[in-house]
Structure 1
């Protein structure tokens, strides 16, 4: 088992336990849970607390369908994929965490990576039709920098291979960077192994330099 030094924020784990996370973010958290027994146990604890609190609520009559029920019905009609929600996934022993393998397969090297900059490739992970946000893999060559950018919303990143270093520390396999809106970063990949990471964002990234902004327009980053 990998030694995890960077975990999701407690608020992110709470959203996971409640099943209320956006699909893209939930994919990153579910992948982290496959690496991290500590967070896995914490999510289970939160789920038990939530279930106990729910059981304590007094039932009330409603004149019409509850908003949450209507929302869930709408999700079902629009094929929203909730595979990431709920219980923690199985432990990760291969190249790709089990929740993610259902969408991209079990080998990162078999993906049709798309070149976007010297030493940087990307692959967009498909999400449900009604899902907002963006979920994509980045592959960064050893010593290269992921295009410097600023978050237009919250950003969750998990390392799947190698690692990177940014303004907030060094991240290795299984570690998660949980960044708030407006945070700027430019991760530098491990000089020996490079890096492959999975990144979920609420909205498109905002690149700080002119050339990356041009690449964003050309490659739909």
Structure 2
């Protein structure tokens, strides 16, 4: 797999800091699972963050801090220890490990809902506190998505197939990191359907009248 497009550095920094919302964090984790370059970049970011923390002057703890910590240990002293089980190796074809936990099978096992000509979707679960959504899209070969912008941050990770837009060609493993200033009109250029994982924090802004009619149906 040759990956050309990666998350912005700011996105990786937010991921390392744990400040990305759930949908975005899941998508970035799925990309990192298949991208050697981003794993290396993440390690560098974490090393820099660790060095910064070490350079910060320590603040004295309050006298009651130790007592509170010991009290918490006492509360759990009688609880049975949980045995950590090794995580089974994921064997679901086309599904990065961080995404596999949200699916019952591989990409071929997904139950798709048709939402527009050539476009089907499968909504993935996120917690009630999440501000972002996480959706799988399956777009038929040759399908052109109406020209649109975004109401906020949007990340797209290609799992199968490919599409092309003003920002280039995106194939398996590639990630499109877009904000509210980006506008594009993706078209699937692969002979097979393009399956993408999409995380959004605000509805898509379609420019055409037909696109605006579709937006509530497509739901991204």
Deviations 1:136-188 (A, max 9, x none): 11110011123432110011111000110011110100001111213111211
SS at structure 2 position matched to 1:105: coil
1:12 is matched with which residue? 11
Q: Provide the aligned C-alpha RMSD in A.
A: 2.1
Gaps of at least 5 residues in structure 1 are 64-89
| 1:38 counterpart = 2:33 | no
Q: Deviations over 1:59-87 (max 9, x none)?
A: 22589xxxxxxxxxxxxxxxxxxxxxxxx
Q: Is residue 2:111 matched to residue 1:117?
A: no
Give per-residue Cα distances to partners, 1:179-206, cap 9 Å, x unaligned.
1213111211124122001111121111
Whole-Å separation in 2 of the counterparts to 1:136 and 1:208: 21
Name the structure 2 match of 1:102. Answer: 101
TM-score (norm 1): 0.80
* CA distance in 1: counterparts of 2:186 and 2:159, whole angstroms: 15
Asked if 1:52 corresponds to 2:51, the answer is: yes
Whole-angstrom CA distance in 2 between matches of 1:92 and 1:151:
34
Q: After superposition, where does 1:22-171 map in structure 2 within 5 Å?
A: 22-60=21-59, 94-171=93-170
Q: Is the 8 A contact 2:162 2:190 kept in 1?
A: no
Larger-gyration structure (1/2) = 2
CA distance in 2, matches of 1:7, 1:191: 20
How many angstroms apart in 2 are the aligned matches of 1:95 and 1:55? 40
Partner of 2:2: 3
CA contact (8 A) 1:34 1:92 kept: no
CA contact (8 A) 1:35 1:91 kept: no
Report the counterpart of residue 190 of structure 1 in structure 2. 189
Q: Take 1:147 and 1:113, find their aligned partners in 2: how far apart are those partners? A: 21
Q: CA contact under 8 A between 1:148 and 1:208: conserved in structure 2?
A: yes
CA offset at residue 124 of structure 1? 1.4
Moved more, 203-212 or 10-19: 203-212
SS of match in other structure, 1:96: coil
Which SS does the other structure have where 1:103 is aligned?
coil
Segments of 5+ residues of structure 2 without an aligned counterpart are: 63-88
Q: How many residues align?
A: 194
Partner of 1:204: 203
